[in-house]
Amino acid sequence: MSVELFNTISNSSVGHYVLFAALLLGVFKLTTLVLNFSAVIFDSFILPPVNFKKYGGGARGNNGKWAVITGASDGIGKEYAFQLAAKGLNIVLVSRTESKLEVVANEIKAKYPTTQTKVVAFDASTDTPANYLTLRHAIEELAVTVLINNVGQSHSIPVPFLETEDKELRDIITINNTATLKITQTVAPIIEATVNKSNKKIKGLILTMGSFGGLLPTPYLATYSGSKAFLQAWSAALAGELKPKGIDVELIISYLVTSNMSKIKRTSATIPNPKQFVGSVLRSVGRRGGAQERYATSTPYWSHALMHFAIESTVGVYSKVANKLNLQMHQQIRTRALKKAARLSQQKKTE
């Protein structure tokens, strides 16, 4: 804006109002930014851990409440099981392979002798009514207060959408979306009944695992990205429905965590292990962390929270800049993965 134009506007009565409105808008934006960033800092570093007694923690055994955890045989799901057991909840372990679940159940009993466990073999990739009937029969007599929707699947390597294999595409949608919704339909009524029996002295809790892949549209992970974005809208809508019934619903957003799904073994400032990540989730239930702009959503791990807040406050999660950077990153990951696969294939031929 030239000096002459500025003087013209500022010397007119209308110009005074325009400049004043612009000043107010700038102050409002700056104030909002500072308050939101302060909330991130408080949520991530200052506020004390959430007391899980409000979700039925602390009793264990015959009088204890139960947590249902899907994808519980290893990684993040297994860590949820141990940390919720430590908070005084009995544990229902749900995953595909019963033998692996039995191992986890025995490990929990060895560490927490008064904790009760149940295992439910459940292949989430096969969307059959028998799955949900088996789960319902296993838990219908239990005082369930917590559901962890942890089961999920991504692509084996980044892949252009038009080259995505049909089975991989269908498995991702079935596991991440269909199974998650139907499991919630199965378990949530039992949580509601438990809350009602307690005269709402305790609350229910449903946590669903989201991802930065759903936060930012992610080229070369298009199906996975879409499936996780779907969970964002669904979970927030469900939160509105169930809050009056005494059930808290929250989507948990994470960047990378060391796990079989991510194929990452080394931790760093931005890549925690499952124990660190789950600890941050359970410590800050009900707080938004880096997801200050989203209802019923949390980005709890400190570095993920700062990353989420920085992206949202600058270029924006739906921006062309973020999309292009994501595209370039996943193109590079795909190139490295294909080279590694070719190298391993060549080694097998020479053996």
Binding residues: 211
Interior CA angle at 228 toward 226 and 233, to 5°? 95
In order, the DSSP letters of 287-322 are --BT-TTSTTEEB-SHHHHHHHHHHHHTT-TTSHHH
DSSP output for 2-58:
-HHHHHHHHHSHHHHHHHHHHHHHHHHHHHHHHHHHHHHHIIIIISPPPPGGGGTTT
Residues 110, 209, 197: CA angle, nearest 5 degrees: 70
Known binding-site residues for substrate equal 211
User: Which positions are catalytic?
Assistant: 224
Q: What angle do CA 258, 259, 264 make, to 5 degrees?
A: 55
d(CA 87, CA 71): 20
- How, if at all, do strands 90-95 and 66-70 pair? parallel
Q: How far apart are CA 336 and CA 53, in angstroms?
A: 47
Distance of CA 264 to the CA centre of its chain: 18
Q: Which among 186, 205, 203 is positioned nearest to 195, based on CA atoms?
A: 203
Torsion of CA 261, 265, 270, 273, to 10 degrees: 80
Closest listed residue to residue 311, CA positions, set 11, 40, 20, 24: 40
